[in-house]
């Protein structure tokens, strides 16, 4: 049996080409697309992510504006900036790079973003719409996973889907999206008993744990589709996922590589959400 490699890099490139054409069409009608990217402090990983997001925007013609605030910026000042951007018609999406410094209440900041500019889909209003099956935006990582499945013709309908991890950013919304597509969904977490046994039931296994090579071949059913969300940098500098790629790719029917799998799709989905936000705001 040959294993299908789900190439997120290639698919994200195709999506970006489509978005670029749509942005150009909007620009021709006098409508620009703008994303505000807010970064607080100087966390090196956050800086890398923000730079990537700005580069992605430039690639498709979205105008990104960075707001870099010092780590000791008072919460009130950040909230005031968000309120100003909420009212700025040239800004269609607002992204606050997480994590924020410990002195700032993340929930309060997310709540301050206007739901119609919440391109990360973190605001309770958008999370609620997702729960109710009527989302405006899809959260970037789980949304990217669904695009990959669709592109490969893998339909969750009626399938046993196991999601490992229950974070608000990945695991929980992933489970909701698979459920909304009629998967039979089980969610595992740190208190799940016999996790390998549960994972072995999966036709589609999505892993978002944050532990290098946590899932090994003995936890994977022959022929399963395995989506590895994890990004872990080892001491030797190598980046690996939450799935032991070498052994699991020998039993899976399809698998995402790390890097080059879910990561690029997450980035593409942010652009897609920004365009969606702009279209809604322009009434298009
Ligand atoms: P979190 O740390 O927020 O959540 C991890 C989840 O894994 C928790 O629900 C936790 O359970 C569960 N978990 C931890 N240990 C175990 C265990 N031993 N057995 C079973 N479950 C366990 O991480 P995120 O969801 O934010 O991210 C997960 C991974 O995905 C990370 O590697 C991150 O870097 C990566 N990531 C990748 C993205 C991409 O674009 N590819 C985007 C976002 C994240 P509990 O709730 O019980 O504590």
Q: How far is the CA of 168 from the centre of ligand 1 (A)?
A: 10
Residue 7 domain-assigned (yes or no)? no
Whether 154 and 248 share a structural domain: yes
Decide whether any atom of ligand 1 lies within 6 Å of the 194 Cβ: no
Three-class DSSP category at 30: coil
Which protein residue's CA is at the shortest distance from atom 12 of ligand 1? 165
Task: Give residue 106's pLDDT.
Answer: 98
Q: Does ligand 1 come within 6 angstroms of the Cβ of 261?
A: no
The answer to whether residues 12 and 265 touch, using CB atoms and an 8 Å cutoff, is yes
- Residue 144 and residue 204 in one domain: yes
- pLDDT at residue 173 in the model: 98
Q: How confident is the model at residue 138 (pLDDT cuts 50, 70, 90)?
A: very high
pLDDT of residue 272: 98
Whether the CB-CB separation of 62 and 53 falls below 8 Å is answered with: no
Q: Which of 204, 228, 232 is nearest to 216 (CA)?
A: 228
Residues 157 and 71 in one domain: no
Residue 4 structure tokens: 């299908």
Which band of pLDDT confidence, cut at 50, 70 and 90, is reported for residue 116?
A: very high
Segment 90-106 shows an average pLDDT of 98
CATH of the domain at 251: 3.40.50.720
179 and 258 belong to one structural domain: yes
Number of domains the chain contains: 2
Residue 250 belongs to some domain of the structure:
yes
Q: Is the pLDDT of residue 1 over 80?
A: no
Are 145 and 97 within one domain? no
Do 91 and 176 fall within a single domain? no
37 and 91 both lie in a single domain:
yes
Q: What pLDDT shows up at residue 39? A: 98
* pLDDT tens-place string over residues 176-194: 999 999 999 999 999 999 9
**pLDDT for 144:** 98
Please tell me whether residues 107 and 152 are part of one structural domain: no
Q: Is the CB of 262 under 6 A from ligand 1?
A: yes
Burial of residue 201, with CB atoms counted within 10 A of its CB: 0-12 exposed, 13-18 middle, 19 or more buried: middle
Residues in the chain: 284
Q: What is the mean pLDDT of residues 11-31?
A: 97
Tell whether 251 is covered by a domain: yes
Closest CA to 206 of 163, 253, 142, 239: 163
Instruction: Tell me whether residue 192 is in a domain.
Output: yes
pLDDT at 3: 97
166's tokens: 């229950």
- Identify whether residues 208 and 167 lie together within a single domain: yes
Q: Which residues contact 240 (CB under 8 A, 6 or more apart)?
A: 212, 213, 230, 232, 234, 258
Q: Considering the candidates 56, 97, 172, 281, report the single residue annotated as catalytic.
A: 97
Q: Tell me if 56 sits within 8 A of 50, measured CB to CB.
A: no
Q: Do 42 and 106 belong together in one domain?
A: yes
The answer on 238 and 155 residing in a single domain is yes
pLDDT grade, residue 165 (50/70/90)?
very high
Confidence of residue 151 (pLDDT cuts 50, 70, 90): very high
| Residue 253 shares a structural domain with residue 181 | yes
The pLDDT mean for the chain works out to 98
Q: Kindly state the average pLDDT of the residues 110-118.
A: 98
Structural domain contains residue 25: no
- Whether 157 is in a domain gets the answer yes
What pLDDT is attached to residue 160? Answer: 99
Residue nearest to atom 48 of ligand 1 (CA): 190
CATH number at residue 54: 3.40.50.10860
Query: pLDDT tens digits, residue range 195-253?
Result: 999 999 999 999 999 999 999 999 999 999 999 999 999 999 999 999 999 999 999 99
174 catalytic per annotation: no
The answer to whether residue 276 sits within a structural domain is no
Is 150 a domain residue? yes
Q: Domain of 80?
A: 30-114
Give me the residue label for tokens 């889909």: 121
């Amino acid at each position: 049996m040959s294993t299908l490699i789900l190439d997120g890099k290639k698919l994200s490139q195709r999506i970006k080409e489509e978005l670029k054409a749509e942005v150009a069409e909007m620009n021709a009608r006098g409508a620009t697309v703008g994303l505000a990217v807010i970064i607080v402090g100087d966390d090196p990983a956050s800086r890398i992510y923000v730079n990537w997001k700005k580069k992605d925007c430039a690639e498709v013609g979205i105008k990104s504006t960075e707001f870099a605030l010092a780590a000791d910026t008072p919460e009130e000042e950040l909230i005031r900036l968000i309120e100003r951007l909420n009212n700025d018609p040239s800004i269609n999406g607002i992204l606050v790079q997480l994590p924020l410094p410990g002195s700032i209440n993340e929930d309060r900041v997310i709540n301050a973003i206007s739901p119609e500019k919440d391109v990360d889909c973190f605001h309770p209003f958008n999370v609620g719409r997702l729960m109710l099956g009527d989302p405006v935006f899809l959260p970037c990582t789980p949304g990217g996973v669904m695009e990959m499945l669709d592109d490969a013709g893998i339909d969750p309908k009626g399938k046993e889907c196991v999601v490992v991890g229950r974070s608000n950013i990945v695991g929980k919304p992933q489970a909701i999206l698979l459920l909304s597509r009629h998967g039979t969904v089980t969610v595992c977490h740190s208190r799940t008993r016999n996790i390998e046994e549960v994972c072995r039931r999966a036709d589609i296994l999505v892993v978002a744990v944050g532990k290098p090579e946590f899932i090994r071949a003995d936890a994977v059913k022959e022929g399963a589709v395995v989506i590895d969300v994890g990004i872990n940098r080892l001491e030797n500098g190598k980046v690996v996922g939450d799935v032991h790629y070498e052994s699991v790719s020998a039993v899976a029917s399809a698998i995402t590589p790390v890097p080059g799998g879910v990561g690029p799709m997450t980035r593409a989905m942010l652009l897609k959400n920004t365009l969606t936000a702009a279209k809604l705001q322009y009434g298009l």
